[in-house]
Amino acid sequence: MISPEELQQSLKHFTSTDNYYRHLLSIRHTDGIQYLAQEAQCYWLIDVIASHQTKKLLADQMLKDFQLWLFVAACNHKPSGSQTRNFLAQINCN
């Protein structure tokens, strides 16, 4: 696994994609997300995003085709289960 600084620097180079990767729950992600998942060993992050794709959310054609997600992490802070759920509710597109 590479350092967070190296990962952040590497991710700046992903400005488009040549491939789309299909998740088990039928969402697709780009080369940059695949790189992030491999290098940071965080395939769970794709699982979290896929699990929040509700019928209501996907009824919007624009959100069905394309979404941007912003994640903010606090250094040296591990949220409890309820804090994690609240965080995910804040970033959900509802």
Tens digit of each residue's pLDDT (9 = 90 or more) over 14-46: 999 999 999 888 789 999 999 999 998 889 999
Output the CA torsion 18→46→3→89 (10° steps).
130
End-to-end CA distance of the chain: 34
pLDDT attached to residue 91: 39
The residue count of the chain comes to 94
Work out the mean pLDDT of the chain and round it to a whole number: 79
Sign of the dihedral defined by the CA atoms of residues 23, 27, 33, 37, in that order: negative
Q: How many CB atoms lie within 10 A of CB 29?
A: 19
* Whole-angstrom distance, CA of residue 9 vs CA of residue 26: 29
pLDDT attached to residue 30: 93
pLDDT attached to residue 72: 74
pLDDT attached to residue 31: 94
pTM of the model: 0.69
